[in-house]
Structure 1
């Protein structure tokens, strides 16, 4: 008698104990089922006869082989801007049946200066990532436990490192082969001729005022073709593990980080892009890539039902943007340009000086009765590393306006003094300008926090005066990498979108909650790819509130991240 036949007879609701017992005995005799199963059935018949089928289903499921990865599949898809990216899908064998479990697609980054002319390079990256997933990664991950995140991430990272070293060795060999013996001979150059101008001053001699040394840029590591496959597969496997265990992704990630499932969660405060003034904006100002709204601590993402005491974060941001648009539109008669919607999901304004967008926000808050500096604060994403003119050794903060690193320190100090609601600066300098980082930190004191993007250099030495770090989930970054980095770095902020690469996967909201972060940056409030993340954060907030697991995170007043105590090591500040 087959197992299906045995279950079929049970499904006929034969409630007579002896008939069911005889059917079970016949099944045991033919299939030689272990005695412990018979004892379990005896317990069922005597204690829970009304739960016959549910009990048997659960019991035999526990006896089945544990889930294992059967294959991973990569495919080319299009992101929110219509550009090519890769999606990873995970298939598992569960109860002897292959099932499609989860898929994921993360943000991509192919270099510091991405343009539309690089579409061929983008296609090469995506095509290689798909090949990685469908061939070598598929073979490496087959039969692995999908719930062992650390092991599968180690397999992914080891594979990436092997490919990286192979590519690096290949580049070194090509560089050596391209060097001719004649190119190694360096002829001494004659000393500069010393001529005199009309005033009799030697032009060849150096002036008494010595110029400060300008540090050259750190060599940028090229983005490895196919690296996008690593982060996508890692996230898809994390979603698979959560699905198998029957828990939300944020609880699954929290258990991975804390080695056990926590009983309390807090919702990270959303940093919302309010205005855009970067290179893609219509105006001359390039310095302030984003002006970011920081809501009051404890403010809900969604309006609490029957509560009108305070606007929720989303409603408040939209009202503020609406008022700013009204002000700009009424000012067009005096020569000001109207704002346009940019890729970051926020209005892009046409300005020439950094004070102008801050004056606009101040006026809009005053008109709406919002206490700027109390109910809301501001952060400035300066994105200064992208503004350096290396031929002149200065930052081009606006078209034709150049400032040295020291002049930029003075400008930031003046802005923070004039606008005390600005409590954070993101990437105000290049990493190479360590003296200016330290100088700015000293002059602004505790009134403002300096944040640095460590996405591409998580192992780089800390910059002086930095209290928080921006981190994006992209390319070869695995879920285990995010857990490790956010545990080691003080004041980590997970950024959901890069400047030009929005991602529609709502899992970033789960990761921010699961990692226990204080802040998360999800972009502006325009575009489905961004609102999906905000809606997921709202769903998590409501779910935790219903379960009695939501707690309010008591934060220090601005700046965002208080200075770390002297006796505490830099790696000890964990935001979880």
Structure 2
């Protein structure tokens, strides 16, 4: 993998543009257009084929074996009446856990965010019990950066990582308290952007200040996303003894 944030940023950007070219070639010019967070949308419905396309981009840039993938299924969006409706498939929570396990092994996935619906606490426990020792199981919609929900997730062994969104909980002090509670319980923390961002780059400083080692700011496109990455690059350049990717 990368030995510095600068190197990681270069790798990610090259993969992103390789993926863009592959998308346009396979699905047409409009597939290269980007959304609010800089992501692409394709007409492909099969989850595995989408992941294969990403790995093709990784291979084309020469980074095979050097990067791991993170996925955000946003499972609340396809959860209804205790079942998960994904494409033409219907999963129970346990079956969805097995599906994630297969995907993770096949596509070198390390992190799974919102793998279960926000109200499916039992499903979250199944997911973390089955995969938490091997993969990062990130709570976003489940936790909403709220200490009350983080405490419940710790008690019920629902996940092992917090997605930290400052403007979701509403204050810097509450965000720090949430992160410290997560760290105290041996969780990882991922400082995250939100949809509808501005060019404010404070959350990049928060990543370094808390020493989370992980951030989620969107694709390397659009000024509102790149502002955060550029700030991390400036910070790394100014801190000659910095350690990349570790808490």
Normalising by structure 1, we get a TM-score of 0.38
Change (3 A) 1:456 1:314: closer
Change (3 A) 1:367 1:436: same
Shift of 1:425: 0.3
Equivalent position to 2:99, from 393, 402, 411: 411
* SS of the residue 1:469 aligns to: strand
Report the counterpart of residue 471 of structure 1 in structure 2. Answer: 164
Q: Distance in 1 between matches of 2:46 and 2:30?
A: 14
Report the counterpart of residue 191 of structure 2 in structure 1. Answer: 494
Q: Distance in 2 between matches of 1:437 and 1:471?
A: 18
Change (3 A) 1:330 1:433: same
Bigger share in helix: 2
Shift of 1:352: 0.7
Report the counterpart of residue 111 of structure 2 in structure 1. Answer: 424
Say whether the 8 Å CA contact 2:145–2:169 is kept in structure 1: no
Report the counterpart of residue 449 of structure 1 in structure 2. Answer: 136
Q: Distance in 1 between matches of 2:85 and 2:103?
A: 17
Shift of 1:502: 1.4
Q: Deviations over 1:326-361 (max 9, x none)?
A: 32333348xx98343111112223321211121012
Q: Distance in 2 between matches of 1:507 and 1:552?
A: 20
Report the counterpart of residue 386 of structure 1 in structure 2. Answer: 77
Change (3 A) 1:389 1:436: closer
Structure 2 stretches of 5 or more lacking a match? none
Change (3 A) 1:476 1:376: closer
* SS of the residue 2:31 aligns to: coil
Q: Distance in 1 between matches of 2:110 and 2:103?
A: 11
Change (3 A) 1:445 1:468: closer
* SS of the residue 1:352 aligns to: coil
Equivalent position to 2:68, from 377, 382, 388: 377
Q: Distance in 2 between matches of 1:434 and 1:355?
A: 26
User: What does 1:339-354 correspond to in 2, within 5 Å?
Assistant: 339-354=32-47
Q: Distance in 1 between matches of 2:105 and 2:235?
A: 38
Say whether the 8 Å CA contact 1:340–1:349 is kept in structure 2: no
Report the counterpart of residue 243 of structure 2 in structure 1. Answer: 552
Q: Distance in 2 between matches of 1:412 and 1:381?
A: 11
Q: Distance in 2 between matches of 1:394 and 1:339?
A: 33
Q: Distance in 2 between matches of 1:338 and 1:554?
A: 32
Give the number of the structure whose alpha-carbon radius of gyration is greater: 1
* SS of the residue 2:170 aligns to: coil
Q: Distance in 2 between matches of 1:445 and 1:537?
A: 29
Q: Distance in 2 between matches of 1:376 and 1:536?
A: 22
User: What does 1:47-446 correspond to in 2, within 5 Å?
Assistant: 296=1, 298-301=3-6, 312-332=7-27, 338-372=31-65, 375-390=66-81, 393-398=82-87, 401-419=89-107, 421-444=108-131, 446=133
Change (3 A) 1:339 1:396: farther
Q: Are 2:176 and 1:483 aligned?
A: yes
Report the counterpart of residue 181 of structure 1 in structure 2. Answer: none
Q: Distance in 2 between matches of 1:554 and 1:340?
A: 31
CA RMSD of aligned residues (A): 2.5
Change (3 A) 1:402 1:476: same
Q: Distance in 2 between matches of 1:441 and 1:483?
A: 24
Normalising by structure 2, we get a TM-score of 0.84
Structure 1 stretches of 5 or more lacking a match? 1-295, 302-311, 556-574
* SS of the residue 2:160 aligns to: strand
Change (3 A) 1:445 1:538: closer
Shift of 1:493: 1.3
Shift of 1:445: 5.7
Say whether the 8 Å CA contact 1:504–1:528 is kept in structure 2: yes
Report the counterpart of residue 540 of structure 1 in structure 2. Answer: 235
Q: Distance in 2 between matches of 1:491 and 1:442?
A: 16
Shift of 1:377: 0.7
Task: Give the aligned length.
Answer: 237
Shift of 1:429: 0.5
Shift of 1:503: 2.7
Say whether the 8 Å CA contact 1:346–1:525 is kept in structure 2: no
Change (3 A) 1:441 1:332: same
